[in-house]
Amino acid sequence: MTKYKRPVMPLYIIAALLFGLKTYIVYRFMFSIELDNIMQEFILLINPFVSAFLILAISVWFNKTSRQMKFIRYATFIASFVIFANVVFYRQFTDFITIPQLFMGSNMSDLSSSILTLIKPFDILLFADAALIWYLSKKQEDKLAVDYQKSGKLFALALSMALLAGNFFLAEMERPQLFTRAFDREYLVKNIGLLNYHVYDLVVHSKTESQRVFADGNELPEIQEFIEENVHVDENSDMFGAAEGKNVIFINAESLQEFVIGNEVNGEEVTPFLNRLIDDEDTYYFDNFYEQTGQGNTSDSEFLVENSLYPLSRGAVFFTHGGNAYHALPEIIKEEGYTSAVLHANNKSFWNRDGMYQSLGIDHFYGEEAYEVTEENSIGWGLMDKPFFEQSIKYLQSLEQPFYAKFITLTNHFPFEMKEEERTIDPYDSNSNTLNNFFPAVRYMDEAIEDFFAQLKESGLYEDSVIIIMGDHIGISANHNKAMSMYLDKEQITPYDQVQLQRVPLFIHIPGDGNGETISEVTGQIDMKPTILNLLGIEVEKDIIFGNDVFSEDRKGYIALRNGDFISDDYVSTMGICYNRATGEPIEVKPVETTEENENQTSNEDACAPIQEKVETELLYSDNLIYGDLFRFVDFKQED
């Protein structure tokens, strides 16, 4: 074995220090990580150094200088790439990458234009330390390598584990039950570091993948009991059968958020047609309707609507569990004579739709190949909405009635590109091009939907249909809060405001109904399946769902978001803070005077705590149904 002098500072320590410093800078300036106290700041500061030292200290176990140097430079480069990938991903989704998303590579060709807009020239600096380490490992390897005896190697290992344990101990003190209640990835990154978060995510992924293997259906009675006691799914509303026998035309309105409805930009209405539709006597409009998607975006909104189950917190159900058994809306209404179809001018493999739609019982999928897509009529993600609706009418007319047809629009999609000649209002003027361009794209979609209503009337389908328009997910992430606060005339976007921005429009238009109104009850995408079934007058003897009919008075009274936040009739819970929903003010937890009777009680109960417990249980049970593929053990045709 070649002997060499012990350096003043080994390369793996230099690499760990540089990588830790770089990662902390990224935390503070490229991620919007909320810090509430000095302890959180301290944990955020130390965790990248702990992670880097843990990984790079492995190099001391290599006896050959060349192997030691090779390990350090490749580990540094790979870790830097992980940081870079998360930075780019975070710019769009304000979230961190999960293992399941890495298996969604077939989406990359469709996402390429969006990804390129998210990469900035200065991102090259994220690899500056890796480049320096690469240079030093090549030119100074004899001076910077180490040759520890076994005791020295064991000491490096022990020190690594001690630092990791110390980090985890502080994290658990600051955020109790961090790993058992990890709905929010920001809490994990903030407390254990980005690299350790990815290791944790890998462990969770392996655990969840094994759930299906060991599931046997014994988990179902507990889930069903919870639903019976808390969800109240058996009560029919006054609207039961209001659209009996009618076609259902469902428009999944891409990235449409509630804040544009009724608002203006540059003195122009953003959504003039949808504004008029609210006032139509045949329209029911829900102005406190929330999107509940996770990392699957549009596909998650589809999953919520068809199943009244929550999407997963990691990855997209369409990809990870597209082969599961489900008891979806299309399958149920098929037994009542309905034909189902999805119309979406995009690649059928995107989000694994061609596979998932079979699992959901959808009869027809009119994808990209069903449309005439040219350079003139497409932009960004594909066929523009106006020609999309225009070309779709013939497919609607060919469907056997009654039918359930879902339209998924494309034009109002990040990065909200629009041809100049297609813009009928000017962009907003702020520091965010994304928000600026959002308004003309929304106006274009509004006009496309107005044209579609006219086409339905001309085709003779309008009177025999109920038309539902739903925003599928938000289009403007928290990364654009400075511009958003400017548009909304607020000093800043608070965590409470951020939750309110997850409201998306829901229109239920029933021609000839005459009783339309605006409904302000708290509702969400989880409620669409029972709502549609009740509107059609279809009673389901046996089902497992977590939503309520939006017209029902007997509701559970809260809407859970995928990250564990919730909105109830009285409260909003987010970022560990309980807010008064009406005022947006935090609700203080007041100390309780200690007496002999309550000597163990130090404060009154958080007003949000009882609902929070239900929310976490609900999300857990929904996850268990998916991970365990538990619907395969249920005969839904068999009466109780």
DSSP label of 566? E
Encoded amino acid at 370, one letter = A
Residue 199 has, within 13 A of its CA and on its CB side, a CA count of 11
Strands 577-580 and 571-574: antiparallel
Classify the C-alpha dihedral 438-442-445-451 as positive or negative.
negative
Round to whole Å and give the CA distance between 516 and 508: 9
Catalytic option among 271, 298, 411, 494: 298
The answer to whether 271 is a known catalytic residue is no
Phi and psi dihedrals of 580, rounded to 5? -75, 120
Round to whole Å and give the CA distance between 337 and 342: 17
244 contact partners, CB below 8 Å, separation of at least 6: 535, 536, 537
**Helices 528-535 and 297-307, interaxial angle, to 10°?**
50
Round to whole Å and give the CA distance between 551 and 285: 11
Q: Which of 356, 355, 353 is nearest to 328 (CA)?
A: 356
Q: Is 377 exposed, middle or buried (0-12, 13-18, 19+ CB in 10 A)?
A: middle
Q: Which of 223, 66, 318 is nearest to 630 (CA)?
A: 223
Query: In 280-348, which residue ranges form alpha helices assigned H by DSSP?
Result: 297-307, 317-320, 329-334
**Between the CA of residue 107 and those of 124, 140, 346, 347, what are the distances in Å?**
25, 42, 11, 9
Round to whole Å and give the CA distance between 11 and 132: 11
Reduce the DSSP state of residue 212 to 3 states and report it: helix
115 contact partners, CB below 8 Å, separation of at least 6: 88, 108
Cα–Cα–Cα angle for 468, 296, 189, rounded to 5 degrees? 135
Strands 289-290 and 523-524: parallel
Strand partners, 250: 406, 468
Q: What would the two tokens of residue 166 be?
A: 């110390």
230 contact partners, CB below 8 Å, separation of at least 6: 556, 614, 618
Round to whole Å and give the CA distance between 327 and 233: 15
Reduce the DSSP state of residue 370 to 3 states and report it: helix
342 contact partners, CB below 8 Å, separation of at least 6: 353, 357, 362, 364, 365, 366, 405, 406, 408
Phi and psi dihedrals of 264, rounded to 5? -125, 160
Alpha-carbon 589 to chain mean position: 30
**Helices 297-307 and 353-360, interaxial angle, to 10°?**
10
Q: What would the two tokens of residue 354 be?
A: 């061609």
The full DSSP string for 71-92 is HHHHHHHHHHHHHHHHHHHHHH
Catalytic residues: 298
